[in-house]
Amino acid sequence: MATRLITLQVLLEEIDPPITRELQVEDDLTLADLHAALQIVFGWREQHLHLYRDTGRPGPGTRYWGDAHQLADRDLDGLRPESAVTIAEALADGPLWYEYDFGDGWTHRIDASAPATAIGDRPPVTLLGGRGRGPIEDSGGPRGYTEKLAVLADPDHPDHARLIEWAARVTGPWFPPAADSFDVEAIQAELDGWFAYRADERDPYDLSGLVLADDLRGPGDLRPDALLADFAAYLPAAIRSEFRQYVRRTGLLRPVRVDDRVREQLVAPFAWLLDAVGPDGLELSPAGRLPPAVVDEGMTVLNWHDTRTGNGDREERTLPIRTLREAATRLGLIRKLHGTLVRTAYGKRAATGTGELWDALTGRILEKLSPGAQLAATALLITYADGREQPETFDDERWREVAFALDVCGWVPGDKSASFDSWRINDIVAPVQGVVNSLGSTRGSTGWPPHRPDPHLADFACAVLHGPAAIRIGEAGRRR
């Protein structure tokens, strides 16, 4: 039987400049299917109630469609289930109106062309075009959103700083930054995934929509088992669509190429420690600490002495060396044995060359972490990998982006408190942050990396994200 397609023109009312979408849909899809598509193409996050009606202004005789269970307490005479009517049937007598978030009152007018017979294989829902980024959730409807956009665009407005903070908190780190942003390709990938359509250019088994099919994937392209793809697949649909646009916008999908000099520069602290331990081990103090002479040598060789880390030679008082040792121990490169620090089998292999050490650090950084901690650590690495300028001083704002990722994926603090705070997030990502803090150049900058981050940390983070996940985040469950 031939597939029939309808072209829909969707206009978000009372917004200037207009926000529009043009969709081509199979005519036998239901209004429940269309609801899912509208959420994706406008960037809504499925946080509020919705319904359809057949008149612009509700009144006597208006027909309604929606989720009867969700709308049970609404006085809607003759409400019909949206899953029991097709798009073609609902639009047979004229346009529809789709309302989302009854508090803000976002109303979408839907006009349709006559059905046409499809030629060839087509997705169930195709985004043909449109204009403008979808509005910010909970922004006060058309009027409130318009007013907020004006304040956000005016640095001299007295409420500018407050609304910048509000927008960052509400939208999260991957929301398209400009109101006129519109990425058809990224949104279409989400539609294809949701409606189980295999696009020829994408891997049919990839839930993230980021991995190319086998015959199109070239050297350096994202692989099916990449940590970045696994992370994206775990995100809920609306957020995953934003994330897909974000990785395209920031270049996170580009092949990772790190030259030998940069690798040597980044792994230098771990190389020094493995060399200090040596093939025969390094005798520790009775308290289990590194000898003072070794601590001082490390701080000097690595150029880590500065006013913030001090010039101490005691491991317990020298945070950079203590952090480096803890990171190398967690990564399984060294361990304590009968009062001596020794290389493990992994450490012996890593000590044979820069490439082996690089592979050990990028491949084992998520080892021994729970699925939730892996998710948090991946979000942290993304903040290093996305090309943003690294600050001259330690940036503790990264925790908010990690907290956002955990929150949208349904994780809650262990004590069931309302939200994650900086203390909880820093505790969760401490093992991976310790590795990142221990990477850095022995030349060209002074001080321990958290104070002056190595400019090539993005290369390391990208290598981890493009590499295979040690323990798949998705094993804890996937979200759709």
**What digits encode the pLDDT tens for the residues 3-33?**
899 999 999 999 999 999 999 999 999 999 9
Instruction: Report pLDDT digits (tens) over 338-396.
Output: 999 999 999 999 999 999 999 999 999 998 899 999 999 999 999 999 877 765 544 56
Where in the chain is CATH 3.10.290.30?
Answer: 4-134
Residue 439 has pLDDT above 70, yes or no: yes
Mean pLDDT of 55-67: 88
Quote the mean pLDDT of the chain: 88
The residue among 350, 354, 371, 378 whose CA lies nearest residue 436 is 378
Which pLDDT value is given to residue 349?
Answer: 97
Question: Residue 208 — very low, low, confident or very high, per pLDDT cuts 50/70/90?
Answer: confident
Q: Angle, nearest 10°, between helix axes 354-364 and 260-277?
A: 90
What the block records as the tokens of 341 is 């620090």
Question: What pLDDT is recorded for position 479?
Answer: 37
pLDDT, residue 480, reads 33
Residue 262 has pLDDT above 50, yes or no: yes
pLDDT at 242 over 60: yes
**Exposed, middle or buried: residue 69 (CB in 10 Å: 0-12, 13-18, 19+)?**
exposed
Distance CA 314, CA 362 (A): 29
Please check the confidence at residue 66 and state whether its pLDDT lies above 60: yes
Cα-based distances in Å from 222 to 22, 44, 203, 467: 30, 27, 11, 8
Give the residue carrying structure tokens 């060294």. 334
451 versus 466: which is more confidently predicted? 466
Burial 424-440 (b: 16+ CB within 10 A, else e): bbeebbebbbbbbbbbb
- Looking at residue 388, its pLDDT comes to 76
Q: What is the pLDDT of residues 110-148, one digit of tens each?
A: 999 988 887 778 899 999 999 999 999 999 999 999 999
* Candidate ranges 73-77, 149-153, 302-306; pick with highest mean pLDDT: 149-153
Q: What are phi and psi of 146, to 5 degrees?
A: -60, -45
pLDDT the model gives residue 451: 56
pLDDT at 430 over 50: yes
Average pLDDT of the residues in 198-213: 81
Antiparallel, parallel or unpaired: β 80-81 and 64-66: parallel
Model confidence at 419: pLDDT above 70: yes
Distances in whole angstroms, Cα of residue 270 to Cα of each of 267, 283, 351, 458:
6, 18, 9, 18
Residue the block writes with tokens 């900058």? 445
Into which CATH architecture does domain 4-134 fall? Roll (3.10)
Query: For position 209, what pLDDT does the model report?
Result: 83
